[in-house]
Structures are given as structure tokens and as C-alpha cells.
Amino acid sequence: MINEFPIVSQTVSTSSFFFFTLSRNGRVIHLTFAQEKHRRACLFLQKSGAIVSSPPTELSRADLLTLLQRTPCLTEFSATTFIEQATSFQRRVWRLICEIGFGSTRTYGELAEMLGNKGLARAVGRACNANPIALFIPCHRVVGSAEIGGFSGGMEVKQKLLELEKVKPCRASPD
């Protein structure tokens, strides 16, 4: 079945980095910093409708800050293809990440402990990597105990996002 609303693919650039979005009917359904992840998402979605490219756009620093400051809510994305395909563990991790406020961080270990098992820190990291709507589920706010930790958009982008939020990226407390 072809959806009446085409899927719009767009590259968004800021003064520091760029990212890729897929949206339908004005709603973001996928956001990634990795071009290969964007390409795979486009291939997957081609089954459900046409994908049209939109001209690249520039996001101002003020608009990026507004996006980062909004309180994310996973429920507003729950009906999107990529959230529906997530495991229950991934959705639990993403809900916890959505609770991390602007300018704050949590370690992978802290989230694992909140899930009831501190040994799940690496699994939390894998859930972060699987995040289909980066920035809306602000996984850049999840850091290692002694270093910044990984990020699908790369360490430099994670660092820049944390700097925008005026966060010191590394924690001194043990995981």
C-alpha cells in the first residue's frame, strides 16, 4: 500500500555538522548523522511509498538550541516504523534517555542501574547506537564514566552537542 504522503529526505546542516532526516506529513520519522544509516533507512522505506528529496537546509544555532531544549517524548514517535521495530529493551532505554534534561548527562552505567542491572551498560550503548531519531531521543547526553563514549554521529559531533548544552562531557564517578 502506498501512503498518500511521500517520505521526504533532507540533509540539514548547522555551522558545526550536518545530519539527515526522513519525514512524512511534516513529522520526522528518522534522523541520523550517519549517511550510510540514512541510505539504509531510505532503502527500507521505499517499500511503503515514494521518497522525494528536498533541497538541503541550514539550521541556525538558535533553532538547534530550541530543538535540543524541547522535552523529548517517545510517545510522539511511537507510531513510526523505526520505533515500532525496536525491541522492548531499546524502547525502555530510549524512554530513560528522554528523561535526561537539557544540559545534563547520565552514564551508560547509571542508565543500566536504572534498568535494574548495572551489567547492562554495553547493551545501553547498543540501544543508543540503534536510536532512529537522534536529537529527539538525545543519546548524546549518555556518556562514559571516564570518557565521552561513542556516538553514531561521531565523537566530534557529540562533543559539539554537549558544548552547545554547556555540559562538561566526562564524568569522574565510576560506572
Strand, helix or coil for residue 117: coil
What is the per-residue pLDDT across 114-148, written as a single tens digit (0 to 9) for each?
Answer: 999 999 999 999 999 999 988 889 999 999 998 99
Backbone Cα Rg of the chain: 16
Instruction: Give this prediction's pTM.
Output: 0.83
Using 50, 70 and 90 to split pLDDT, how confident is the model at 1?
very low
Nine cell digits for residue 146: 571516564
Same domain? 87 vs 160: yes
Same domain? 53 vs 92: no
Same domain? 41 vs 105: no
Residue 134 lies in a domain: yes
Q: What is the mean pLDDT of the chain?
A: 86
Residue 34 lies in a domain: yes
Same domain? 89 vs 159: yes
Same domain? 45 vs 90: no
Find the domain containing 159 and state its range.
81-164
Residue 70 lies in a domain: no
Residue 171 lies in a domain: no
Same domain? 85 vs 140: yes
Same domain? 39 vs 102: no
Indicate the helix (H) or strand (E) that contains 7: strand 7-13
Residue 71 lies in a domain: no
Using 50, 70 and 90 to split pLDDT, how confident is the model at 52?
confident
Phi, psi of 156 (to 5 degrees): -65, -40
Same domain? 100 vs 43: no
Residue 112 lies in a domain: yes
The tally of domains found in the chain comes to 2
Catalytic annotation, pick one of 73, 98, 139, 170: 139
Question: Which is it for the CA torsion 132, 134, 138, 143, positive or negative?
Answer: positive
Catalytic residue list contains 73: no
> What letter does residue 49 receive in the DSSP assignment?
S
Same domain? 104 vs 156: yes
Same domain? 89 vs 160: yes
Phi, psi of 55 (to 5 degrees): -55, 145
Does position 175 have pLDDT exceeding 90, yes or no?
Answer: no
**CATH at residue 134:** 1.10.10.10
